[in-house]
Amino acid sequence: MDPITGAVEHIGWLAVHINANDIATFGVEPAFFLSCILLPKKVNKKIVKKISVQMDKAAKELKIAIIGGHCEVTPGLSAPLVIGCAIGITEKGKYVTAGGAKPGDKLILTKTVGIEGTAILAMEKEKLLKEKLDPKIVDNAKNFYEKISVVKEAVIAFNTGSVNAMHDPTEGGLAGGIHEMADASNLGVKVYEEKIPVAKETLEICNFFEIDPLQLISSGALLIASQQGSTEKILQKLRKHGIKARIIGEFLDSPSKRVLIRKDGKEINLVRPESDHLWKALTKINDNSFTY
């Protein structure tokens, strides 16, 4: 169950995909979806239809049945809020969690970091960004919404039989997601900066807002703990289905050792985000402290 709070334009579509991702990281295909739609006072009825149509489209893409929900006007809201709940069914024990990683497991990342955050900022702050960046960069970034789902890659990876744990790095970005996975597994982790894929669109937008792409909400990417000796099998399966993936690090015995190896070889502690940098970017604009 997850709320969608930072994106208005695609809120219904995201509600389905983000919650479906949570089921898929168990290695299970999502089957059902429910929603609770909370709306500001004096909202236009067209918004309800727009959100519902988006949810219907996303559910059909994933072959999920929408089996119920609720909608109301809620005092105090300035924008729509959609809370979604996805459900999957599997046999007992035939799934993984974020807490199953083992020492020596390789850490695989699919796609790139900051996918959802890049799309949200490009959509919500399109005019501002196009004044300062190449408009093509911004248009490409808006299309990052199409990369949000990890259902396909999660199920493919799980079906290799060589996955110990999976997790989708949402709020707090890649850095937050890695810490959550290591926390759940009671392990340490070593990550290599030069191996972390960052799309050009993400890099330029993050540089503009002065935020860290590793701390930007990253729905659409998937973290996989691969059993020793089986990593290449997983990578080959993913690439066969057109999914980019690479090894970005490995899990360590000591839970206290969480490090990032910089491109210059310097070892630093892996940052644990206090909050997602999406909010840092939006707050800078809204409180007028952002200069450009």
CATH of the domain at 196: 3.90.650.10
pTM summary value: 0.92
Cα radius of gyration (the chain) = 19
First to last CA, the chain: 38
Is 156 a member of any domain?
yes
| CA-based nearest residue to 29, from 116, 108, 76, 90 | 90
Is 265 a member of any domain?
yes
Helix (H, G, I), strand (E, B) or coil at 46: helix
pLDDT means over runs of 10, the chain (292 residues)? 82 95 97 97 90 97 97 92 97 96 98 96 93 96 95 97 96 97 98 98 97 96 96 96 97 97 97 94 65 42
Are residues 171 and 27 part of one domain? Answer: no
What is the distance, to the nearest Å, from the Cα of residue 237 to the centroid of all Cα atoms in its chain? 21
Are residues 58 and 15 part of one domain? Answer: yes
Are residues 209 and 181 part of one domain? Answer: yes
Do strands 245-252 and 188-192 pair parallel, antiparallel, or not at all (unpaired)? antiparallel
- Sign, CA torsion 70/71/76/77: positive
Please answer whether residues 69 and 34 qualify as being in contact, where contact means their C-beta atoms are separated by less than 8 angstroms.
yes
Is 180 a member of any domain?
yes
Are residues 128 and 65 part of one domain? Answer: no
Are residues 112 and 78 part of one domain? Answer: no
Distance CA 220, CA 93 (A): 26
CATH of the domain at 69: 3.30.1330.10
pLDDT of amino acid 43: 86
Please answer whether residues 108 and 191 qualify as being in contact, where contact means their C-beta atoms are separated by less than 8 angstroms.
no
**Of 55, 88, 121, at which residue does a domain stop?**
88
pLDDT of amino acid 272: 97
Are residues 138 and 197 part of one domain? Answer: yes
Are residues 147 and 48 part of one domain? Answer: no
Give the structural domain span for 52: 2-88
What is the tally of structural domains in the chain? Answer: 2
Cα diameter, the chain: 58
Alpha helices, H only, the chain: 11-24, 45-62, 115-124, 126-132, 135-142, 151-158, 173-185, 200-209, 231-240, 277-286
pLDDT of amino acid 156: 97
**Of 29, 62, 88, at which residue does a domain stop?**
88
**Of 88, 123, 153, at which residue does a domain stop?**
88
pLDDT of amino acid 290: 46
Q: pLDDT digit string (tens) for 209-266?
A: 999 999 999 999 999 999 989 999 999 999 999 999 999 999 999 999 999 999 999 9
Is 42 a member of any domain?
yes
